[in-house]
Structure 1
Amino acid sequence: MSERRTADVLIMGGGIVGMSIAYFASRAGLSVTVLEKGEIAQGTSSRCDGNILVIDKEPGFDSLMSLESQKIIADLTRRLPLAFEYRAPGSIFVCETEDELSAARQWVDRQSALGLPFRMLDRADIREESPMFSDDLAGGLECASDSTVNPYLLTYALAEGARQHGVDIRLRTEVRSIVRSEGEGFAVETDRGRWLAGKLVNAAGCWAPRLGQMVGLDIPIVPRKGHLIVAARQNPVGMRKVMEFGYLMSKFGGSRQVDEDTDRYGVALVFEPTESQNFLIGSSREFAGFDTTVRPEVIRAMARRAIRFYPGIADFQIIRTYTGLRPWTPDHLPIVSRVEAIPGYYIAAGHEGDGISLAAVTGKLMSELLAGTEKTCIPAEPLRYERFQETRG
């Protein structure tokens, strides 16, 4: 019996976004194959934190899209065959100054007007959150719906769920070229043979532009490097995700009153406790191509920033440090879209630091686009690939 080399849908990329699409598309009844050049979750999905956040999203479409992803993730805890360390404790921003606190009030007002569960926190609330916080913090804000997962485990849970729905996952299989068939569909040449598919999904994250070039597409995604520190908990620090309000300015390119290294490396406090009782400290944001070298000067800047907010962790033990690449787009929104100029070609990439957060809603939306569903779970228009061509034109 010959090996099956055809599929309704061929997904290129075995990270959390690719596996989410595979899971939802197979549940919709489509025949799906995933091609991954390495191992499951080998790229960005294994080099990140694991938060499903609304708190850091622009009020409007961005925050409502994230809220929908949170609802889907909560449902997946009951559907997927493997547990993935899901918790929903909420998250907070802390404000260093009164000016930040004033800006935070505006942020909360805009999010609350959309019906999202935001509230302000005063100094007493901050101290109750963690006795290790610096005494001079002005306050903060909370989003009660925010949740967290283990990104590795969620990716594997989606992959196993996809397999149970008949998905063929091919690892260590690198795409070498893509040829559009004279009729409908594509022939995809890999280092392990040829696959034929009616529809092709580019879910390769930072590497999506390389696959786009194979069909003549310019995909405006650039890798944005981020560092993380894993530290050992010697005393209780906090039970949920904490970021400084300046993280928003770092994420979206605003200006802050910080020291030179903090500004240069896009450093902002991110604290995340893990289920194993250690914690992650972040973060940094740099455009450095595909370089994933850990830079001591960036780690020092991140450590200084963490100690500014948590003076009591200065003597905690660092277990390891690592970097990851975030697939950045010019407008900070992902591309989750069919490509009008190439019928049957789809893109699901460009999530920057929100790949874990938006993987679930991306998978569901893409499955709906692939199936031709008239009403999608969220509006697809803001995520269209063609928005960049229209801007350039």
Structure 2
Amino acid sequence: MELPRTVDVVVIGAGAVGAACAYFAARAGFRVAVVDRGSIAGGTSSACEGNILVSDKEAGPELGLAQYSQSLWRGELAEFGHLWEFESKGGLVVSAKPATQAKLARLAGRQREAGIDVELVDGPELVGLEPHLNPNMAGGAYYPQDAQVQPMLAAAHLLRLARGMRATVHPDTQVTGFTRTGGKVTGVVTGRGTISTDAVVNAAGTWGGAVAELAGAKVPVLPRKGYVMVTEPLPAMVRHKVYAAEYVDNVASSDAGLQTSPVVEGTNGGTILIGSSRERVGFDKSFNPRVLAEMAVKAIALFPFLADVKALRSYSGFRPYCPDHLPVIGPDRRTPGLWHACGHEGAGIGLSVGTGALIAASLGGGEPALDLAPFAPERFNGQAPGHTTEAAHA
């Protein structure tokens, strides 16, 4: 499709976050063009599990964004849930030791005060929720609000819905620069031409820092690599998203080294997804069997039956990580005309629709449903994103 010459909003990135930004902006009446350096959902959205979680978030701004996003997934977007296979499966966080369970109970208490539905479960009660779970667990916490979608379907259908509201989508269209007038961003330069616009939304995922740098802004979005294993199809053996309590600590950690914690969940197709790993290795795509071995051992410790199950395949991807573990959302006061919607790390699918709605409200000059100050790009005070040379060509 030919690039439009002029639109109201250009969204850079056709993953779940960019798709949500396009959908809500188009619904608000803006003429939108989406551009992506690759394919639709070709980045992080194609290499994740599609989680929509509240269980792994401490009380604070990110949890508030998760709750807002939940209200959209389950509210005005509910009629489309079948398109992206929305499944309200619930989450079960389990503790192997009493001390870990006590820590989990304190977290659950803070989340409950913030409005999260969570129920503490003792060891013997866990078998009622997950009959095949290791019976030696000390306890857990059940989160009925946790859900899952098929992430690539979510991105594709949000973009399809946006196209129904006059948005256009342009894959394989790499952004190489920006046009400016009086210091304000007024257009996006691509390998296929230039689009003039009043606003640009940087939803470029792991490349968000590089895109911001092209516009003269600094946001420290870095890639954080993770693996997922997929088993052979089985009868329904795992009912919920189940993970060990240390997963919450790993999500909040800034350690660059390898961290693994067991995450196990079933799918509608019968396969079981096994995670998780986190490490900062730049954009190194090389395969590391040691990571999968650690994940497998820890998953078997949760569900012993997995020792006899075949793994069909594995895949890896890069999560867009910010040092303070909060996404970057909203207008960049340092660079008028530029908005950001990136840096969601492993929570981007779940937070995508809330982010898109907040961006659309901000673009229209209205009052967003949440205070954007905790997510403001200026909070980094000009820290460099630290991307590789390759990232400069995002």
TM-score band by shorter chain is over 0.9
Q: Please state if 1:90 is matched with 2:90.
A: yes
For 1:118 and 1:37, the matched residues in 2 are separated by 41
What letter matches 1:176 in structure 2? T
Q: Give the Å deviation of 1:266.
A: 0.6
Q: Give the Å deviation of 1:381.
A: 1.1
Q: 1:166 to 1:77 in 2, by over 3 A?
A: same
Tell me what 2:102 maps to: 102
Verify the 8 A CA contact 1:181 1:187 in the aligned structure 2: no
Q: Give the Å deviation of 1:164.
A: 0.5
Verify the 8 A CA contact 2:217 2:382 in the aligned structure 1: no
For 2:184 and 2:282, the matched residues in 1 are separated by 35
Q: 1:233 to 1:124 in 2, by over 3 A?
A: farther
Tell me what 1:25 maps to: 25
Greater CA drift, 173-182 or 287-296:
173-182
Tell me what 2:300 maps to: 307
For 2:257 and 2:219, the matched residues in 1 are separated by 27
Q: Please state if 1:338 is matched with 2:331.
A: yes
Q: Please state if 1:377 is matched with 2:369.
A: yes
Q: 1:46 to 1:78 in 2, by over 3 A?
A: same
For 1:43 and 1:30, the matched residues in 2 are separated by 25
Q: Please state if 1:229 is matched with 2:229.
A: yes
- 1:152-231 equivalence runs, <5 A: 152-182=152-182, 185-231=185-231
Please point out which of 265, 274, 288 is paired with 2:281.
288
Q: Give the Å deviation of 1:131.
A: 2.4
Tell me what 1:260 maps to: none
What letter matches 2:94 in structure 1? V
For 2:360 and 2:244, the matched residues in 1 are separated by 35
Q: Give the Å deviation of 1:235.
A: 4.3
1:266-318 Cα offsets, whole Å, 9 max, x none, are 10011121111111000000000011222101000000010111111101011
1:309-356 Cα offsets, whole Å, 9 max, x none, are 111110101111010100110110100020111111111100000010
What letter matches 2:39 in structure 1? E
Give 3-state SS (helix, strand or coil) of 1:108's partner.
helix
Q: Give the Å deviation of 1:230.
A: 0.6
Q: Give the Å deviation of 1:75.
A: 2.5
For 1:113 and 1:187, the matched residues in 2 are separated by 45
TM-score normalised to the size of structure 2? 0.93
For 2:8 and 2:257, the matched residues in 1 are separated by 46
Q: Give the Å deviation of 1:80.
A: 4.0
Q: Which runs of 5 or more residues in structure 2 are unaligned?
A: 385-394
Q: 1:254 to 1:188 in 2, by over 3 A?
A: closer
Q: 1:89 to 1:379 in 2, by over 3 A?
A: same
Verify the 8 A CA contact 2:58 2:110 in the aligned structure 1: no
Q: Give the Å deviation of 1:50.
A: 1.1
Tell me what 2:139 maps to: 139
Verify the 8 A CA contact 1:227 1:294 in the aligned structure 2: no
Give 3-state SS (helix, strand or coil) of 1:347's partner.
strand
What letter matches 1:195 in structure 2? I
Verify the 8 A CA contact 1:81 1:161 in the aligned structure 2: no
Give 3-state SS (helix, strand or coil) of 1:290's partner.
coil
1:107-155 Cα offsets, whole Å, 9 max, x none, are 1111112221011011122112222211211010011111111111111
Q: 1:193 to 1:82 in 2, by over 3 A?
A: farther
Q: Give the Å deviation of 1:179.
A: 2.1
TM-score normalised to the size of structure 1? 0.93
Tell me what 1:362 maps to: 355
Verify the 8 A CA contact 1:206 1:326 in the aligned structure 2: yes
Q: Percent identity?
A: 34
What letter matches 1:386 in structure 2? E
Q: Which runs of 5 or more residues in structure 1 are unaligned?
A: 256-262
Tell me what 1:386 maps to: 378
Give 3-state SS (helix, strand or coil) of 1:269's partner.
strand
Q: 1:301 to 1:329 in 2, by over 3 A?
A: same
C-alpha RMSD of the superposition: 2.0
Give 3-state SS (helix, strand or coil) of 1:194's partner.
strand
Q: Give the Å deviation of 1:212.
A: 1.4
What letter matches 1:324 in structure 2? G
Q: Give the Å deviation of 1:77.
A: 4.0
Tell me what 1:129 maps to: 129
1:132-191 Cα offsets, whole Å, 9 max, x none, are 211211010011111111111111110111001110111111111212134854232211
Greater CA drift, 332-341 or 232-241:
232-241
